[in-house]
Structure formats: C-alpha cells, structure tokens
Amino acid sequence: MRSIIVLLFICLCDVNSLNNGLVKTPPMGWLSWERFACNIDCNNYPNECINEQLYKDMADRMAADGYRDVGYRYVSVDDCWSEMARDSVTKRLVADHKRFPSGMKALGDYIHSKGLLFGIYGDIGTKTCGGYPGARGADGTDYDSLDAQTYAEWGVDSLKLDGCYADTKNMTNMYPEMSTALNDTGRPIVYACSWPAYQIGQNPDYERISQYCNYWRNFDDIMDSWASVTSIIDFYAKYQNVLVKYHGMNHIHNHLTIDTFIECKHFRLFCAFLSNQFISNRLMG
C-alpha cells in the first residue's frame, strides 16, 4: 500500500521541559496539510477539500482499519478550517459554515467517539499562512486566552501553532504566551510550535522552546519528493549538536507537516530518528 506520511524527527535527552505529561512518546496520527493543503473548492473536489466529512471519513478509517490500534491516534485539522473573520460580537474563531456545518465541537465529539484525539491548527501572527484569522488581531489584540478557551470547549487535544504573519524576533515572547493560555484552560492540550522553523539562522532559543512547547518544527515543510526528505536529513545532520540536547520525554524535535510518499526506506528513517508520524493521504479502507 502506498501511503503518505509526515516525517517528524526527534532525538532523546532530558532538560527542563514543558511538563504537562502529554508527549511521552512521539505523537502519531493523521494530518491534512501535505496532501489536502488549503483546497476549499468542495464543489469541484468533493473528496479533496477541507471539510468536516474529510476528517470524519479519516477517523472512520483509522478506527476501522487498525491504524488507531497501533498508535495513530490524532486526527488533525490543518489550515483553512475557519471563517475569514472572527465572530463580530464574541471575537471567537468560528468554523467555516459551509464546509463545517456541524461546527468544531461536533467534529471533536465524533473523533472522540471513535477513540481518537482531535487536533487543530492556528497561527501566532495576524493571519494563518492561508490568510485566515491568527491569534493576533490586525490591531494587535491578543486572542491567545480566548482561542485557548475556545479550543478547550471544543474538546481539542492538540494545537499546531504556525508562525506566518508574525515578527520572527518576537516569537520568543509570543509562543510562551499561548503555552500559558493553554495551561490555564485546565484541559490537557499538546502544544506543537512552528517557532524555530521561522527562526532559522537566528539561533532559536531551544532551551526556552523546550520549556513551552511539547514539540516543534525546525525546518521547511516536507514535499512529495525524496530530495525534500534528504534536505531535511541534511539540516538535522548539520545542527545535530545543537538539537540533540533538547529532545526527550515531553519535548520532541519534529518535522511537523512534512509528509511524503512513503517507501520502506522512508519508513525506516522514522524509526532511526524516533520520529513522529503523521499520515496525510486519503485512507481508502
């Protein structure tokens, strides 16, 4: 079977880390980005677009076809799930009404009913990479607490927080604020940060990153090519002396949102790097 899998690299050690007890082993699951990206044209591509049916179908397959039982537990929504603006009164993020007519709480309930975990996507800046509302308003308003509360009420188990439309130098302040906001909700939510990937060449503060994030993306998104995989391996080889200190239980280097066609040699790499694994193809049953 040909699968597409997200490759997420990790290594092992122990430092002061975000200790919410949530990431004792590399997370595994399904994530829409690499394969489905920001396809919102459900009229022309009903089986290829970002809508609630996609995630429900994938939850069905993960439960029925054995993926869940071998550890693939997260069904993760990625970019382009929301309306283009926050609710004008409550200022909360709202799911796109046409593509997610039942809303995010109902989707989370469905995913949980299959014995799976619900992942969602946000952005630390003023917009997501796809142009949807981010955690900062255009006027600078900080929506971290409101968004964290909203995610918790929806039953979210994991947040991938991207870094488009943000001042990269300021991420050192901004990412920890969402970490605190998530903790304040009282709901255990895995926190996946894209923080260091936006600070390549600026000496990301891995000590601080590992204190506030459960796992983090260091480098560019993977694409459907072996050259993309080898570019990531080369990055890890070059920076291994820096990276190796900040990896262990609860704090894991990963290559979030990188997926590619999977072959045996690719799969072996996940194991060699103790990598997280997120599948991103349409599971067919």
Ligand X SMILES: *[C@@H]1O[C@H](CO)[C@@H](O)[C@H](O)[C@H]1NC(C)=O
Q: Which residues bind ligand X (CB under 6 A)?
A: 19-20, 167, 170, 173-174, 177, 183, 186-188
Closest separation in Å from C-beta 209 to ligand X:
16
Closest separation in Å from C-beta 207 to ligand X:
16
Closest separation in Å from C-beta 218 to ligand X:
22
Is 221 designated active site?
yes
Q: Which of 220, 221, 224, 234 is catalytic?
A: 221
Cβ proximity to ligand X, 59 vs 178, nearer residue: 178
SS3 labels along the chain = CCCEEEEECCCCCCCCCCCCCCCCCCCEEEECHHHHCCCCCCCCCCCCCCCHHHHHHHHHHHHHCCCHHHCCCEEECCCCCECCCCCCCCCCCCECCCCCCCHHHHHHHHHHHCCCEEEEEEECCCECCCCCECCECCCCCECHHHHHHHHHHHCCCEEEEECCCCCHHHHHHHHHHHHHHHHHHCCCCEEEECHHHHHCCCCCCHHHHHHHCCEEECCCCCCCCHHHHHHHHHHHHHHHHHHHHHCECCEEEECCCCEEECCHHHHHHHHHCCCEEEECCCCCC
Cβ proximity to ligand X, 174 vs 229, nearer residue: 174
Cβ proximity to ligand X, 72 vs 212, nearer residue: 212
Closest separation in Å from C-beta 2 to ligand X:
38
Closest separation in Å from C-beta 180 to ligand X:
9
Cβ proximity to ligand X, 95 vs 189, nearer residue: 189
Cβ proximity to ligand X, 66 vs 188, nearer residue: 188
Cβ proximity to ligand X, 135 vs 283, nearer residue: 135
C-alpha to C-alpha distance for 280 and 22, rounded to whole angstroms: 22
Closest separation in Å from C-beta 89 to ligand X:
25
Sign of CA dihedral 229, 231, 233, 236: negative
Q: Which of 96, 157, 162, 259 is catalytic?
A: 162
Is 162 designated active site?
yes
Catalytic residues: 162, 221
